[in-house]
Amino acid sequence: MTDETAKDYDAEMHEPTHFFTKYIWSQDHKVIAVQYSITAMAIGLVALVLSWLMRLQLGFPGVFDFIDQEAYYQYVTMHGMIMVIYLLTAFFLGGFGNYLIPLMVGARDMVFPYLNMLSYWVYLLAVLVLVASFFVTGGPTGAGWTLYPPQSILPGTPGYDGGIILMLVSLIIFIVAFTMGGLNYVTTILQARARGMTLMRMPLSVWGIFVATFMGLLAFPALFVSGVMLLLDRVIGTSFFMPEIVSLGEPLAYGGGSPLLFQHLFWFFGHPEVYIVALPAFGIVSDLLSVHARKAIFGYRMMVWALLAIGVLSFIVWAHHMYVSGMDPAFGYFFAVTTLIIAVPTAIKVYNWTLTLWKADIHLTIPMMFAIAFILTFVFGGLTGLFLGNVVVDVPLSDTYFVVAHFHMVMGVAPILVVFGAIYHWYPKITGRMLHEGMGKVHFWVTFLGTYAIYFPMHYLGFVGVPRRYYDYEDIEFIPDSVADLNMAITIAALVVGAAQLMFIYNLVWSLIWGKKADSNPWKANSLEWQTPDTPPKHGNWGVEMPTVYRWAYDFSVPGAAEDYMPQNMPPQPFEAHRAAHPEEGPEEDKPGEDKPEEGGT
């Protein structure tokens, strides 16, 4: 490192010094990541409060008289949409994607930092437009998060005046923001990796985010187009999705459109969307498990191929959401088959996670507990998915609480558990301090057990036939009284779980100031983000010298190594050279973490 390079470095980096350009109008991927995360968390809190309000109504019908039918529909809709799009998608890709990609692949920043910054501000605009819909006449839309026409844009549905318009506009803005960010993520991963960082040496977190982002770039267009068309139907009276309709005895001006078309477009986006939030979670959880079990991830190559296979297959399963929509029943065969096929790569991943834990040196840290909880929850939600993927089983269960239980388990709770685990894992890198462990444990146990208290009983409700999106069940004959008791219990659990989340946010703030100081690699992990010269990493991430990568991210507990981990930028060691020269002494190339000879021979 000569003076020359140091000077070049300073000129190239022009690190902002002013507070405004450093923390607000910032082009640094780490700052943008934090901005994304905080915004997503703030709007997620709104969704959480809405879920309490819904639960209060269901648990204690009629007690809270400010919640009427209309308000309930609005809560359901906004809760669902915010959770899926504005919280989970934004958090995983805008938050973790931004933070982890450049650090994990060894880049100074995203390839186009300015565009990346714009992505955040446009996302913020989308959130603000969404929030504005709470304050317009008629309030936010109550069409359900699926926004099915015709009802979503007809008078009688709450939010007919402004709510539905703002919702669609907000979604369109969100997609623009996502595209600006997503192009950056994909290009950075493909074209801006460190020396020695091959694709097959990338940590699985990066792989998960990569595949999910790519899917987003191909799936969001369908939502964009259907959003534009629905907006035109609502605002200027076209009939893309609107058939002939007689309303209050009067024929409306609409006619000739196809409501089914909307459902196809929506789910062509909507199913991949499920995996857009699941794949980053898959990737991140693989890394959490491997680091905290001090063992190489089992079947790395298979894990990558499974991610890619899921990514491709998820584009041809969408109509399993439409078995009762009135589409041609023959489609049901095709989509049931593809749905069951996609379970294969998914199951491979579950086996590999489990096998990673097999005979591992498990450290029950908080990230690890969340990671293990994820496996359990994901398997549980995945199994009910197999039920719902079959037409004959789905038809009676469709639109009941069984579905609500299924999707909350598999795409609500499971990814959220990973978000939590990941925050506990990377918080020390982001802030330089550890999160408070006691509060973390309480948070984990309440959240984990609490979500089972909430969603387990919902499967029974579904079997009894309790329909979803209902404001109350009091006068429905076939619903037994015991449902009311169960609902009350669920509500209490939901409130407790919600309170735990508030404590978590308190912990985030508390630890920022009083948390234990973290050293640069508290978990002794291998991936590059833990090898930065400064913690938290400075602008430009690596100081003057860029990292060089010599190995994958999973060299844990390698026999012969000085320590139980070997960072990706650690050059080849003498014992490795020896082993390469004498292959008969043990396999090297596929690096099984399990070659401790004393354990192998029984």
Question: Is residue 239 at the binding interface for another protein, with CB under 8 A as the rule?
Answer: yes
Assigned token pair, 418: 């990973």
User: Where does this chain touch another protein (CB under 8 A) — which range of 239-247, 372-380, 419-427, 500-508?
Assistant: 239-247
* Cβ-based nearer residue to another protein, 202 or 446: 202
Report the distance separating Cα 287 and Cα 115, nearest Å: 29
Indicate which of Cu ion, ligand HEM, another protein, none lies near residue 533 (CB less than 5 to 8 Å, by partner kind). none
Reply yes or no: is the peptide bond before residue 536 cis, omega within 30 of 0.
Answer: yes
Report the distance separating Cα 531 and Cα 541, nearest Å: 10
* Cβ-based nearer residue to ligand HEM, 475 or 599: 475
Report the distance separating Cα 69 and Cα 436, nearest Å: 42
- 87-116 residues in contact with ligand HEM (CB under 6 A) are 88
Report the distance separating Cα 232 and Cα 240, nearest Å: 8
Which H or E run includes 226? helix 204-235
- 477-516 residues in contact with ligand HEM (CB under 6 A) are 494, 497-498
* Cβ-based nearer residue to Cu ion, 21 or 146: 146
Shortest separation between residue 208's beta carbon and another protein, angstroms: 18
Report the distance separating Cα 588 and Cα 583, nearest Å: 7
* Cβ-based nearer residue to ligand HEM, 82 or 303: 82
**Residue whose entry in the numeric block shows the structure tokens 């998820």:** 314
Q: What's CA 364's distance to the chain center, in Å?
A: 23
As a dihedral over the C-alpha atoms of residue 271, residue 382, residue 463, residue 333, rounded to 10 degrees, the angle is: 60
Amino acid identity at 238: T
Q: Which listed residue (32, 41, 83, 297) binds ligand HEM by CB under 6 A? A: 83
Concatenate the DSSP letters of all residues of 304-330 into one string. Answer: HHHHHHHHHHGGG-GGGG-TTTT--HH
Shortest separation between residue 192's beta carbon and ligand HEM, angstroms: 32
Question: Is residue 198 at the binding interface for another protein, with CB under 8 A as the rule?
Answer: yes
Report the distance separating Cα 20 and Cα 31, nearest Å: 12
- 245-284 residues in contact with another protein (CB under 8 A) are 253, 255-258, 261, 265, 268
Indicate which of another protein, ligand HEM, Cu ion, none lies near residue 271 (CB less than 5 to 8 Å, by partner kind). Cu ion
User: Where does this chain touch another protein (CB under 8 A) — which range of 166-174, 214-222, 514-522, 583-591?
Assistant: 214-222
Bridge partners (DSSP) of residue 467 are 400
- 271-330 residues in contact with Cu ion (CB under 5 A) are 271
Q: Which listed residue (79, 201, 406, 425) binds ligand HEM by CB under 6 A? A: 79
Nearest to 290 by CA among 571, 597, 565: 565
- How does DSSP classify residue 66? T
Question: Is residue 548 at the binding interface for another protein, with CB under 8 A as the rule?
Answer: yes
Shortest separation between residue 112's beta carbon and another protein, angstroms: 7
**Residue ranges in contact with another protein by CB under 8 A:** 111-112, 179, 183-184, 186-187, 190-201, 217-218, 220-222, 224-226, 228-229, 232, 236-240, 243, 253, 255-258, 261, 265, 268, 548-551, 572
